[in-house]
Amino acid sequence: MGIESAIYIGAALFAYALVSKRLASSPLSGPLIFATLGLVGYAAGVLTPIVVIDSPVVLVLELTLALLLFFDASKVQFRSWDADMDLPTRLLAIGMPLTIVLGAVVAYVVFPSVGIIGAAIMATILAPTDAALGRAVVSNPGVPVRIREALGIESGLNDGIALPILLFLITIASAEEGLALWSFFVKSIGIAVVVGLVLGLGAAFAIQFALERSWIERNWVRISLVIVAFGTYIIADNLGGSGFIAAYVAGLAFGRLLDRLNTPKEHFEEFGQELGSLLMMTSFLFFGAYMLAPNLAAFTAATVFYAVMSLTAVRMIPVAISMIGTGLAPPTIAYLGWFGPRGLASIVFAGVLIEVAGVAQTELVVAVVIVTVAFSVLLHGVTAPWGANKYAAWCASQPDPAQENETPA
């Protein structure tokens, strides 16, 4: 990546920052804008073609996901689980497994050459949702708090749930005869959990100790957490474990311990969101330039059909099933079902698949992921402000707002 590419990326980020507030309520979402800028930069020759694997682009994508996993996990409030987690629990415990199963069935029917395991891998990669693609959906104050939090919590936790499933399926798909699957759990998950717990708890104790003695400035608290998130990922990955699982576990351990120590986390979370947004937009620019632009030929009738199915029936039917017994109105269930965008986690998980040798039809699976994410960036980005406003207006017209037992914030 040369100086021209660096200038182009920096100028794009600065220009977006200048009009970010104005664009917040428009159909032009950040991911849509930056994916388009990536395409334009590639077509203009400013962002020169590169081999994505083993490039700095992959490192940026992976560290971005690790950071988001860490900060999302650190925000989980176990104390309020019973009171606040009914809807997200249903989405994660019922909706997500059904989404993977239904997605695998459709994938096997549309692409029989990938086999059953390959179809399950494809469905698992595309199961996690990404709230960043439709920020208006979870930030519109007219939408009941309970619904906003359900979608936000789901998108924050489902990539951490999907990753072990994906690694397990990849292990089966690439396993040589006689390979013991227990090694997958010991290495990929076991090492990751240990590293995550040690670094997450260690960081929380160290920061609390320094804060009590006024040894550390607030801005360095924030910087240190970024170091912990990145460091956890790198250490676990180099030890043979999953860096993503380690970052997620570290975030859970860090947030849980600070809760028990009654240490405020607002400043940590705000900084994590700000840095995460910067890296997220850069990641979507890379997606447009280095994954979407070179693979426009992947937009075939079959891949487009699966992408549409993945964003509609494969997502919306399981969500509707998971909401049985909640008393939610059809517009609310449709809102929860439609706004499940596919984004960074799917992109990075596709990269994880590429890096593993021996998985059949990897190119086809990755092509489907690219097409699906591209459609999601466009469709969810465009419909987010309009859909949130329409749903908020419907909620305001109901005697009991949206029948969610929750009033808009």
pLDDT in tens, 279-293: 888 888 888 888 888
pLDDT tens digits for range 66-112 = 888 888 777 765 544 455 578 888 999 999 999 999 999 999 999 99
Within a domain: residue 385? yes
**For the chain, how long is the longest CA-to-CA vector?**
63
Query: What CATH number is associated with residue 226?
Result: 1.20.1530.20
Identify whether 118 is part of a domain. Answer: yes
Q: What is the pLDDT of residue 262?
A: 65
- Note the pLDDT of residue 219: 73
Asked whether the predicted pLDDT for residue 202 surpasses 70, the reply is yes
Across 16-30, 127-141, 319-333, 351-365, which has the greatest mean pLDDT? 319-333
Is the residue at 171 inside a domain?
A: yes
- Using 50, 70 and 90 to split pLDDT, how confident is the model at 224? confident
% residues pLDDT > 70 (the chain)? 85
Task: Provide the domain limits for residue 290.
Answer: 3-403
Confidence label for 409 from pLDDT (cuts 50, 70 and 90): very low
CA dist 383 → 85, 394, 396 (Å)? 26, 16, 20
pLDDT in the model for residue 104: 96
Q: What is the pLDDT of residue 178?
A: 43
Mean pLDDT of 116-140: 85
Output the pLDDT for position 265: 58
**pLDDT in the model for residue 127:** 94
Give the pLDDT confidence of 16-32 residue by residue, as tens digits: 888 888 887 777 888 88
Distance from C-alpha of 154 to C-alpha of 371, rounded to nearest angstrom: 23
Domain assignment of residue 340, yes or no:
yes
Report if residue 409 sits inside a domain: no
pTM: 0.82
- Per the model's pLDDT, the better-predicted residue between 342 and 28 turns out to be 342
In tens, the pLDDT along 225-258 reads 888 888 999 998 888 887 888 888 898 888 877 7
Number of domains in the chain: 1
For residue 361, which amino acid is it? Answer: Q
Average pLDDT, the chain: 82
Compute the distance between CA of residue 387 and CA of residue 138 in angstroms, rounded to an integer: 11
> For the ranges 44-53, 158-167, 190-199, 287-296, which has the lowest average pLDDT?
44-53
Q: Which range (7-21, 140-154, 348-362) has the least confidence?
A: 348-362
